[in-house]
Amino acid sequence: MPPVLAKDVINALKRGVNITLVVGDKTANDFYIADESAFSTIGIVPYIYEMLLKRFVKRYQNFIDKGLLNIYLWKHDDNSFHLKGIISDERYHLLTGSNLNPRAWALDLENGLLLDDPSHGLMAKVNPEVDAIMENTHKISHFSEIDTLNDYPMKPKKLLNKIRFSQIDRILKRFL
């Protein structure tokens, strides 16, 4: 998440706010390359995202344990996950084409629409959509459920080891 969004999420968790995040499984990423023989450098993007997710989950495991932070991984057949948006208090709805990551928030200019629905009238339409998304998710209860570098195929593992060795992963984190 962009630092400003991550900070708000963490502050909300500290206040006892219940937060649910739905993210795509690495295999549901547009850059995922299943065939290791066709693997190229861009194919490490889903693995980097997963590594960052694992760090986030590990860091805030205490909020998961308390039931305040709910993280779901979405995976459905060979489909990719490209949803972006935020629902807050069943009142505020952010619909955007912008990715919710630091690079997009710093560099991209994409349209977004923020809806304020104090009467919660949109929820009758939103709930079936959310239910359909959630049908293809599984809940992460512990950071150990997320793959590690050792679980990855050889080519991504080798490239990620080189990146980690050279400390470029900090730079990539900023731009992914």
- pLDDT tens digits for range 1-39: 777 888 999 999 999 999 999 999 999 998 999 988 899
| Segment of 44-53, 67-76, 106-115 carrying the highest mean pLDDT | 67-76
Mean pLDDT, the chain, whole residue set: 88
Count of domains for the chain: 1
pTM: 0.86
Residue with more model confidence, 166 or 150? 150
* Residue span of the structural domain in which 99 resides: 3-175
Look at residue 134 in the predicted model and tell me its pLDDT: 96
3/13 Cα distance (integer angstroms): 15
Per-residue model confidence as pLDDT tens digits over 47-72: 988 998 999 999 999 999 999 999 99
Fill in the amino acid letter for 104.
A
Q: Is the dihedral of CA 124, 126, 132, 138 positive or negative?
A: negative
What CATH number has the domain bearing residue 89? Answer: 3.30.870.10
